[in-house]
Amino acid sequence: MFGKGVGVGRLAGIPISVHPLWLIIVALITWSLGEAYYPEEVPGIEPAAAYALGLASALLLFASILLHELGHAVVARRYGVQVEGIQLWLLGGVARMKGAAHRPDHELRFALAGPAVTVAIAAAFALVVAALPASAPDALTALLAYQVLINVMILVFNMLPAFPLDGGRVLRALMWRRSGSIERATIAAARVGRGFAYGLLALGFIGAFGGAPGLLWLGLIGIFLILAGQAEEAGVRMQSTFRGLGLRRVMAVPARTLDAGTSAADALRDSFASLGYHAFPVTADGRAVGLLSIEQLDGLPRERLETATVGELADRDRSLFVGEDIGIEELLASSGFQRHGRAVVLCDDGEIGMLSATAIERAIRARRMLAE
């Protein structure tokens, strides 16, 4: 959902990256504060100084967000969850984790870790503001007061029970503790989150047509919450499905394969046309070496179909090949599966399997029907 960012370093051993869209929100905050907030709070301030303070405020804001996400990441790592990195992007920041909490108490603790950091940051800025002498420059007072205000706003917003915000994760942890099922808790929390998200979307719509363009940001956040909640819900459903089935129960094994020496025309006629499969693993001496899909043959001249072998045309990207013991999250995140919607599974007993996104969807749908 967030895409790749530019690495800028490490903090507590955790990679930190910045998404290119982050520059947009930094520029908008800088402009907004330099145009309105600082000229109002600091009478007579020069425009250049106002915008410089606006940029400083934006950077301090994102430093606070980074520490917030670091709080999540450090506590999650303590409970055995692998943290891939923290990324700053258009709507704030996100700690990217591989895996999930194993117990509701763990989920509750690292859901609350970020807000706890934000409380500490807001309190620290508030104490500094309170300790400033009356002779302190207005610009310094305004800079620090803004950090108090914005961190309180971040805290309040994040604690809304709108999954996957922190408040929504707290809600899920409590529901998980009560029901004993992370899947049921996630579905329930996601439904509550969608209610809040649709409310934000409605406010954004009203703002678009009611002369309050600032509310458009709420609509954008609402869209993000809807999409993120759906992704979380789908991920938990998949985990639940594969805990009960395992890859071997869902994938096609042994898969129908194509020998690397077969001509493209023969493969098209004898396999693609007769079996109706979208793609086939390609083998050489019984070993999987690539994957050939119908798209790779589409548009090839007839002469090329007759002379080319499937071994020449096959995609040999090694990320297409996975072991039988791969976790579902790792599989879905792999570049090969994301690009092709399928993976060639190298089974422990030497068999070659195929697992597609369509097969995963069918398994989830069937399990859902059985549960109804």
11 contact partners, CB below 8 Å, separation of at least 6: 66, 70, 86
Count other Cβ atoms within 10 Å, centred on residue 167. 24
Query: What tokens were used for 141?
Result: 């007072």
Inter-residue contact 93 to 86 (CB < 8 Å): yes
307 contact partners, CB below 8 Å, separation of at least 6: 263
Q: Which amino acid is at 185?
A: A
Query: What tokens were used for 223?
Result: 């869209």
Helix (H), strand (E) at residue 154: helix 138-158
75 contact partners, CB below 8 Å, separation of at least 6: 109, 110, 113
**Prior bond to 254 cis, omega within 30?**
yes
**Among 21, 17, 20, 19, which Cα is nearest to 84's?**
17
Token pair 């302190």 in the structure block, residue: 136
Please indicate whether residue 35 is annotated as part of the active site.
no
- Exposure class string for 334-346: b at 16+ Cβ within 10 A, else e: bebbeebebbbbb
Distance CA 303, CA 293 (A): 19
Q: What is the CA radius of gyration of the chain?
A: 26
Query: Which residue out of 35, 40, 41, 69 is catalytically annotated?
Result: 69
Helix (H), strand (E) at residue 235: helix 216-245
Token pair 């029901």 in the structure block, residue: 179
* Residues designated as active site: 69
